[in-house]
Chains A and B, each alone.
Chain A
Amino acid sequence: MRRLPLIAAASLIALATAAAADTGIDITIYADNQALVQDTRQITFDGKVQRVEFKNVSAQIRPETASLAATDMRIIEQNFDYDLLSPAKIMENAVGQTITLVRTNPATGAETREQAVVLAANGGVVLQIGNRIEVLRDDGLPVRVIFDKVPPNMRADPTLSITLQGAPGTREASLRYLTPGLGWRADYVALYDDKTGTIDVQGWVTLTNNSGTTYENAKTVLVAGNPRMLGQSSGNYRQPYRGEDGEGMVEAGTESGTRERLGDYYLYPLGERTTVANLQTKQVSFLDVHGAPAQHGYEIRFGWMQTSDSPISAATVYQFSNSAKGGLGDQLPAGIVRFYIRDSRGQAQFIGENAIGHTPMGSKLSISTGQAFDVKVQPVVEARTRVNDRRWKTTMRYTLTNALPKPVTVRVVQGGLWGDVRISAESQKSERRDADSVVWNVTVPANGKTDLTATFDSRY
């Protein structure tokens, strides 16, 4: 590998110097499929204007973000050559030039060589051979075409080349650029123990490299947070889609962790240099907590006052905190939490997953893992009466059923209370969470049923 760039430099691109061996690659990976690569190499400056080529840069490099830093040097021009060397491209570049044709006599196998000038290469190739004009391979017989040289701007791989002038000597130079194709997120494994009401949580950072290039022995830092990128709207960073039930972070934390920070972002440096191979998924642990307290509950949410002709499963919700006291004791970068529970033989079984957003330390989380088989709620509009031209009365009955051999508590949320909706009667005390919704915590006995009724006084 070392030998060949020299051959190439000598024979094909007389002026170019290949940037020598890497002395180190540093990668900073952001959570949104974007990375900053710093590629440090030794460059021998000859004091004159010279072109330096950087091979093995990310195949998805954003060339407009590339910059080279070295002492005693000025940059004259920076080029990113992505004109891929292919049979068609080399022919198109040979227009007006002389090529060699090698034909084989089909009867004897004798080879004959001819010089030809390429007149045009628009789809097919038109050649001038002496005084006659021919279309290449129009007779359907094989003809080998031999070119003398590769056009100077054509590469087998995307290559960054920089024209510069520096004081003579060999020095380190750092090339920095942004590239998509490298990204990471967190993956959590949460094992819930029903008997003790605790969870064990392992956190892994999962980084993926789909950039087309392998980064050998890279020092890697992961950044949690979402820096604004070109083409994204400012502000209004949205948490990932979570579905309706379970709200992810229900109470934002106010504790500061011990993690390194960069502005408002958290940094997760990997412990040691590692090779991030192309098409690789790599995981490194960052969190391992045992026995944090957690609660298992049920929640159901109705967007409007509706009748359902069959019972609807309540969502299974697990609640825990990431506070230093009685919690996981770390901030949680955005990712996916997978819940497991042990079956009767002690084997951990998967019971559902959900996405969480970046969660500061000290937050309370409520994560829905799915729909409960045995805990259901059937909402019914019992009556709807016009009180007068401006007011209506709606009586709702929610039938909660529990086919489990133990009592459960279901959090019933009735939303869609637009305007000045009042509750004029209810079978148990509700909590008005905000103008739009109301919450009841309803206990359902083992293998039993509870009816919750409420009368809403509304404008519509």
Chain B
Amino acid sequence: MRRLAALIVAMSLALPAQAQQRQDVAASAPSDVSVTIYRAPSRNGGSIQLSNLGGFAVVMETRTIRIPAGRSRLRFEGVVDGILPESAIVSGLPGGVLEKNRDAALLNPSSLVRAARGKVVTLKRTDPRTGKPVLVTAEILSASDQGVVFKTSAGIEDLRCSGLPEMFRYSSGAEGLSARPTLSVLTNSPRAVTATVTLTYIAEGFDWSANYTALINPDGKTMDIGGWITLANGNTVSLANARTQIVAGGLNRAYVRKFYNNQPQVIARCWPQQRTHQIPRKPERPYQLVSPYQGYLDDGFADADSIVVTAQRGRNLEMASPPSPVMMASPPPPPPPPPEQLGDLKLYRVPQLTTVAAMQMKQTRLVEQRGVPFERIHTSAISAANYGAGEERPGVLVLLRTKNDKASNLGLPLPSGAFVILQEQFGLPMRIAEPILRDTAEDEKIELGAGMSPDVTVVRRTIRREGNRHWIEVEISNASPQAIAFELKVPTYGNWKIAESSVPWIKRDGTPVFLVPLASGASTTLRFTTSDN
């Protein structure tokens, strides 16, 4: 007995400090969850695809753990699968954090047979005469994506060549492999205690978008603006009863090398299996010297690549749009509270606790502003000088212009998103255009493109050229039943400027602009000269 005790002491001394008496404790399920969702950096409108979400979220969970005295490993199960383990912050541990680990080696059939390589297992085969199972002792020699090779007392053979059921039974191998990627923390607590621990981490696979509707009122002078936030969780974990926030504004992400499991799956297959006509020709080895550093160089190349910002993600326009806000607009809800300032970003809170379920999209009200006055502007741009291009007939764009201020019944931050402009006709709202709004702060002007106008025509001709001086004539006609406010832009480059003009013009943002009000059915001709002197 004493000898045994001495042996145990000796063993425990020989064991490294870390392995001594380390207890493994699982944290409770989260009792309080908060999720803050951030948009994909490139997103400014358009639909969300659940399978490919470019945004992320910061998840905060409160969990309870019974921590034993001394060293222990605390496991946090059920964290969102898109977790960036390096971003995890654990607070509230009396013994502090010695080490944080995230193990991605998962238990699956492939990792189990891989772990059994070189070990003795039981092979269950089928007796071909009786069909009864036969148990044989086997040693697994190799298991890879090429096949599984094992050894029995009969010799060495491959799995799945007998044409009858064959399988391995393992006695061990599941140790150290977890069911899900698990975040764990090593701590050294001075005493046993039940602690409330907060875990905060960044997780990918979330996104949100803002969608606005602008319904033009029958007076044609005001519109009602409504906005919805659509948020999405593309992870397999749901966040139940979560305090939910959304952050608008542009924030930096640093792109880092991602960490993938590059081990191929084990495939059990007999080789060769094909009959003569199915057998592919064996590829010939090319006769060339292969650099032993090839693999390494490739790796280095990939490394250099990985720091390129790859935020651009193609949007698939064929995917379904989020459920249209139009359909839900019937009973007007009260205007939602304005966002909170978070540094230089905007934080929106979903008013009640909500469940952000796995693979789910969810909508919440963003703005509800009625009677926003706007100006309807027709505009086009012509060149200050052209040579031999003949007539220019630029398209005429319709702009709805307003200002994001209190006087215009707005005056609140509007995160970038897609607009749907609607106007009632035959008692039905008709879609007019779908422009994109960029992040718009208070007091900024808002210009929404509302399509092209076929009723307004602009023709520009150069009448005469002399040295660096051009005589230009622009004919504008209005075939629409309403009077319009037309703006003609003449962008100038280099030294070009408007020298003389029959009508006055203004300069806006460095560009000369002619303001031309035009009655229904009227047309007018502007004459001016441009020069490069």
Contact = CB atoms under 8 A, between A and B. Distances in A.
A355 B247 CA distance: 21
B63 to A, nearest CB: 16
Interface residues of B, number: 115
Given A87-B271, A354-B254, A279 B18 contact: no
Given A284-B99, A382-B510, A84 B162 contact: no
B251 interface: yes
Interface string B275-308: 1100111100000000011001101100100011
B142 interface: yes
A4 B120 contact: yes
B444 A373 contact: no
A142 B273 CA distance: 9
B52 to A, nearest CB: 22
B344 A282 contact: no
A89 B164 CA distance: 23
A290 interface: no
B128 A111 contact: yes
A221 to B, nearest CB: 15
Nearest to B156: A147
B143 interface: yes
Interface residues of A, number: 130
B448 to A, nearest CB: 13
A374 B118 contact: no
Given A86-B149, A313-B250, A371-B249, A279 B16 contact: no
A217 interface: yes
B97 interface: yes
Interface stretch (B255-263, B354-362, B498-506): B255-263
A187 to B, nearest CB: 5
B388 interface: no
Interface stretch (A122-130, A165-173, A431-439): A122-130
A19 to B, nearest CB: 15
B342 A384 contact: no
Most buried by B among A86, A136, A187: A86
Contact of A137 (B88, B139, B272, B342): B272
Contact of B250 (A85, A87, A154, A370): A370
B85 to A, nearest CB: 4
A147 B155 contact: yes
A447 B442 contact: yes
Contacts of A230: 293, 296
A146 to B, nearest CB: 4
A86 B144 contact: yes
Interface stretch (B101-109, B207-215, B363-371): B101-109
A401 interface: yes
B251 A369 contact: yes
Interface stretch (A36-44, A206-214, A250-258, A415-423): A206-214
Interface string A162-189: 0000000000000000001001010101
Contacts of A338: 87, 202
A389 to B, nearest CB: 12
A347 B60 contact: yes
B256 A185 contact: yes
A280 B105 contact: yes
Contact of B105 (A64, A108, A202, A279): A279
Contacts of B85: 206, 281, 283
Nearest to B34: A347
Contacts, number: 322
Contacts of A370: 249-252, 344-345
Given A210-B259, A374-B441, A144 B157 contact: yes
A90 B510 CA distance: 77
A381 to B, nearest CB: 5
Nearest to B341: A404
A208 B104 CA distance: 11
Nearest to B161: A144
A206 B86 contact: yes
Nearest to A405: B341
A426 to B, nearest CB: 17
Nearest to B284: A122
Interface stretch (A66-74, A260-268, A269-277, A321-329): A269-277
Contacts of A311: 444
Contact of A355 (B103, B151, B254, B263): B254
Most buried by A among B257, B279, B303, B308: B279
Interface string A110-148: 110000000000111100000000011111111111111
Interface in B84-142: 85-89, 97-105, 117-120, 127-131, 139-142
A142 B292 contact: no
Contacts of A339: 343
Contact of B275 (A32, A138, A146, A341): A138
B146 A87 contact: yes
Contacts of B347: 343, 349
Given A85-B141, A87-B158, A336-B254, A373 B282 contact: no
B440 to A, nearest CB: 9
A152 interface: no
Contacts of B102: 280-282
A10 B187 CA distance: 45
Contacts of A343: 245, 340, 342, 347
B101 A150 contact: no
Given A90-B149, A369-B251, A135 B276 contact: yes
A79 interface: no
B228 interface: no
B83 to A, nearest CB: 10
A58 to B, nearest CB: 13
A385 B495 contact: yes
Contacts of A89: 146
Contact of B343 (A204, A353, A369, A381): A369
Contacts of B312: none
A86 B118 contact: no
A86 B147 contact: yes
Given A86-B142, A123-B281, A279-B104, A33 B299 contact: yes
B413 interface: yes
B155 A148 contact: yes
Contacts of B143: 156
Nearest to A307: B510
Interface in A184-233: 185, 187, 189, 192, 194, 202, 204, 206, 208, 210, 212, 214, 217, 229-232
Contacts of A156: 117-118, 140-144
B372 interface: no
Given A4-B120, A374-B344, 18 more contacts: A1-B119, A109-B127, A135-B275, A137-B273, A138-B276, A145-B157, A192-B343, A230-B293, A279-B103, A283-B99, A311-B444, A313-B250, A349-B247, A369-B343, A371-B249, A373-B249, A385-B495, A392-B495
Interface of A: 1, 4-5, 7-8, 32-33, 62, 64, 84-91, 100, 102, 104-105, 108-111, 122-125, 135-150, 154-157, 180, 183, 185, 187, 189, 192, 194, 202, 204, 206, 208, 210, 212, 214, 217, 229-232, 240-241, 243, 271-275, 277-285, 296, 298, 307, 309-311, 313, 316, 336, 338-339, 341, 343-344, 347-355, 368-376, 378, 380-382, 384-386, 392, 397, 401, 403-404, 447
